[in-house]
Structure formats: C-alpha cells, structure tokens
C-alpha cells in the first residue's frame, strides 16, 4: 500500500518535470494593460454603477486582477469603489 502511494507521487512529479517540453504555442502570454492606466481620463467613481459593473461578475463578486488586468494600485481603487458602491446600494453584495 505504502509503496503504491509513493509510486503515484513519483509519477506525478515526473509528469510535472516533463512540462519543460510543453509546447509554448498553446501558452501565448498576452500581456494585459491596466484599463485605468491605459486611459488616464478614466476616473473611477463609486457612484457610477455602469462603470463598476465591468469589474464584478454576474454574482456581484469583484473580479480578480488576472481577469480585470488592472495593476495593483488600480485594483485596490476598483475594490474600494465597488465596496463603497455596495454600501450605498448601487451594486449588490450578491446577486440571485
Ligand atoms: Zn493601473
């Protein structure tokens, strides 16, 4: 029993190591540009629900940085704005 477990683990590790041969064609990294850095005229407004809807999913959750593409600084601003909007009932805490 113990040996089987060990073998499984080893196989997994080996598979991970073989990822060095992973075809990079399927891994094209497209660098996202922060929407707030790209457009300097765009100012986040917690009273503007239409603007903030882009940064929440259909459940009302705030999207992660990997989805919004925002930089750390602006992601913080987005989070703050969404939370303020929720507080004044412009955006929902949860949907459905
Ligand atoms: Zn930014």
How many structural domains compose the chain? 1
Measured in residues, the chain has a length of 96
The answer, as to whether pTM is greater than 0.75, is no
Going by C-alpha positions, the residue among 59, 57, 51, 38 that lies closest to residue 78 is: 51
Q: What's the CA-to-centroid distance between 73 and ligand 1, angstroms?
A: 6
pLDDT at 2 over 80: no
User: pLDDT digit string (tens) for 36-85?
Assistant: 999 888 889 999 999 999 999 999 999 999 999 999 999 999 999 999 99
17 in a structural domain: yes
Residues in Cβ contact with 55 at an 8 Å cutoff, skipping those fewer than 6 apart:
62, 63, 68, 70, 78, 82
pLDDT on residue 95:
86
DSSP 55: G
Q: What's the CA-to-centroid distance between 86 and ligand 1, angstroms?
A: 22
Q: What's the CA-to-centroid distance between 75 and ligand 1, angstroms?
A: 7
CATH number reported for the structural domain that contains residue 32 in this entry: 4.10.640.10
- Beta pairing partners, 62: 56
Going by C-alpha positions, the residue among 22, 85, 26, 96 that lies closest to residue 50 is: 85
Range of the domain at 58: 2-87
92 in a structural domain: no
């Amino acid at each position: 029993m113990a040996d089987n477990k060990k073998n499984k683990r080893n196989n997994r590790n080996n598979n991970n190591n073989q990822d060095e041969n992973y075809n990079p064609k399927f891994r094209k990294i497209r660098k996202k540009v922060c929407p707030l850095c790209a457009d300097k005229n765009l100012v986040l407004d917690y009273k503007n629900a239409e603007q903030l809807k882009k940064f929440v999913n259909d459940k009302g959750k705030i999207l992660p940085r990997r989805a919004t593409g925002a930089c750390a600084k602006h992601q913080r601003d987005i989070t703050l704005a969404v939370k303020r909007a929720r507080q004044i009932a412009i955006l929902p805490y949860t949907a459905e």
